[in-house]
Amino acid sequence: MRVFRNLHYLTVQTYKRGKVKPNCPQINIGFIPSYSQRFLSHDSPTIDTKAAISTSTSTLFQKLVEGERSALARAITLVESQHPQKQASAQNLLSMVLKDLKKRFQNLGHQSLSFRIGLTGPPGAGKSTFIETLGKLLTAQGYKVAVLAVDPSSSTTGGSLLGDKTRMQELSADINAFIRPSPASGCLGGVTRSTNEAIALCECAGYDIIIVETVGVGQSEYHVASMVDMFVMIVSPAGGDELQGLKKGIVELVDLVVVNKADGELIPSARRIQGDYISALKFVRARYKIWRPNVFCVSSRTKDGIPELWEEMQDFKNIMLETGDFVKKRKQQYKMWMWTLIEYNLLNAFKKHPRVKSLVSDTESRVENGIITPGQACDVLLKKFFGTD
C-alpha cells in the first residue's frame, strides 16, 4: 500500500510487487489538518514517548472518572494487553485508580464501595439470562451495573466465542449497564488474568454493582470467590441429588445458591433440588458466624423470585457492613490480587528464561520417552531457573 499526500488530502492505492493493481480504485482517507501532516512525513520531529504516554493515561483516567463507557472499555483493553509498553501504561493507570478509590473511601466511607457479586455454575444453568433479568431490575432502580463475563478459550487456537454480550441484548442497550466479555486465555479458576484490574476500573467509573460471571466449569472457579463481596452459585433443576451437591467443593465457598429455570414443568424438579441443597448446606461449615447460605428458586424467564433474591443480596451486604466483614474482605481481595499477579508473572518469567527455554524441548522429550520422571525434569528446570545447578 502506498500513500499519496498533497497539502490537505490523502488517497491510498494498493500495490502488488511494486505495481499498481489493475482496476483498483483509490481509497479516500479524508482531509487531514495541516498541523497533522508533519507526522506523516519521514522527517517528523522526535516525540517524547514517555511524556505522550503519561498524558494519554491521565486523559484516559479523567474520562474514566467521568464515567465514559468507551473510556472504561479502552482501560480494560489496556490492562488486558501483554505488550510491555502498554503494561507500563496500565500500571500507571491502575495506580491513579487505586489512589482515587482510597480517597473516595476516606471521604464517603462504605458508600463509595461497589457491591461485587461473583456468579458461577455449570454450563446451561442460565447464568447469562439470569444476569440480564437481574441487571434490568437493578438499572430500573437507578443502579449502574457492570458485567464482566469470562468465556472459555480454545486449548488449540486460544480463541473465544465471547457470546455473553449477544445473549444479553436488552441489558447491552441499557445506558446504565456495561458488559465486557473477556477470554479466559488458559487461566484457571474461571476468571482472567486481569479480572481484578477490570473490577477496580469499573468501580472507578462509578458502577454500583459489578457482576463477575465465570466460565462455568462448575467446580474449579474458586478464584472468583476471593475477588468478590458475595459469591453466588446458579444450578439448574437437573443438578443431581444432595450427595452431588456435597461433592461440589465450590459449595463451601458460596453465600447464596440459586435454582434457576423454576417455571412450567420444571417447578417440581426445582423444588426438589432446592430441598437437596438445603440439606447439603447443613453439612458445610459456614464462612461467617452471622450468615448461613440460603437457597432460592427463581425463573429468569418469568422473573419470579428475582426481586426477593435481590432483597436477600442486599441483606447480606448490610450485615457484612455492620459487622465490618465487608471492608475486611475488600482488603483481603487486594492481597489475593497481589499473589495472583506474583504466580502469573513467576510462571511467565520461568517460561521465558533463556536457560529454561534452551532445555525445555529436550527435557520434554526425555520425559515422554520415560528416560526421566516428571519430578526429575521439574528439578532440572528449576535449578536452571534459579542458577543453582
Q: How many CB atoms lie within 10 A of CB 260?
A: 27
C-alpha torsion sign, points 152, 364, 342, 355: negative
C-alpha to C-alpha distance for 37 and 7, rounded to whole angstroms = 8
120 forms beta bridges with 233
The C-alpha cell that represents 317 in the structure block: 451486604
> Can you give the pLDDT of all 389 residues of the chain as single tens digits?
444 433 343 444 443 444 444 444 444 434 334 334 433 344 444 445 555 556 789 999 999 999 999 999 999 999 988 888 898 999 999 999 999 999 999 999 888 999 999 998 887 888 889 999 999 999 999 999 999 987 654 444 444 445 555 668 889 889 999 999 876 554 554 456 788 899 999 999 999 999 998 866 544 566 788 889 999 989 888 755 544 555 556 788 889 999 999 998 999 999 998 988 888 888 888 788 889 999 999 999 999 999 999 999 999 999 999 999 999 999 988 898 898 889 888 988 998 999 899 999 999 999 999 999 999 999 999 999 998 87
The C-alpha cell that represents 46 in the structure block: 522526535
Q: How many CB atoms lie within 10 A of CB 143?
A: 17
Position 350, amino acid: F
Contacts of 244 (CB under 8 A, 6+ apart): none
Residue 376 has φ and ψ, to the nearest 5°, of -65, -40
C-alpha to C-alpha distance for 386 and 389, rounded to whole angstroms = 8
- Please answer whether residues 125 and 238 qualify as being in contact, where contact means their C-beta atoms are separated by less than 8 angstroms: no
3 forms beta bridges with 12
Model pTM score? 0.78
C-alpha to C-alpha distance for 319 and 291, rounded to whole angstroms = 8
